[in-house]
Amino acid sequence: MNSEDLKKVFERFWRADQARSYDSSKTGLGLAIAQAIIQNHQGSITVSSQLDKGSCFTVHLPKIEEKNC
């Protein structure tokens, strides 16, 4: 992914290069939903990428103490 795509990757409905990746069954919501869920659990998700090599998504979630029911 290029640097402009990295800035937008978590935006709702955003998809990379529309001409190459168009599929009407896809909505572009997956990463936005993943980010919302992770943030609701006080976590974070980041992405790093090397153009023409691949991307790496990292999720951090806080450890919670187990509570007795």
Range from 25-34, 43-52, 59-68 that averages highest in pLDDT: 43-52
Q: Any idea what the CATH number is for the domain that residue 39 is in?
A: 3.30.565.10
Global pTM value = 0.71
Higher pLDDT, 25 or 3: 3
* 50 lies in some domain: yes
* 55 lies in some domain: yes
Burial (CB < 10 A; 0-12, 13-18, 19+), residue 34, is middle
Q: How many folded domains does the chain comprise?
A: 1
Q: Which DSSP state fits 16?
A: S
- Condensed to tens digits (0 to 9), the pLDDT of residues 7-44 reads 888 888 877 765 455 556 666 678 999 999 999 999 99
* 49 lies in some domain: yes
Is the CB of residue 51 less than 8 Å from the CB of residue 2? yes
* 67 lies in some domain: no
* 15 lies in some domain: yes
Task: Find the domain containing 13 and state its range.
Answer: 3-60
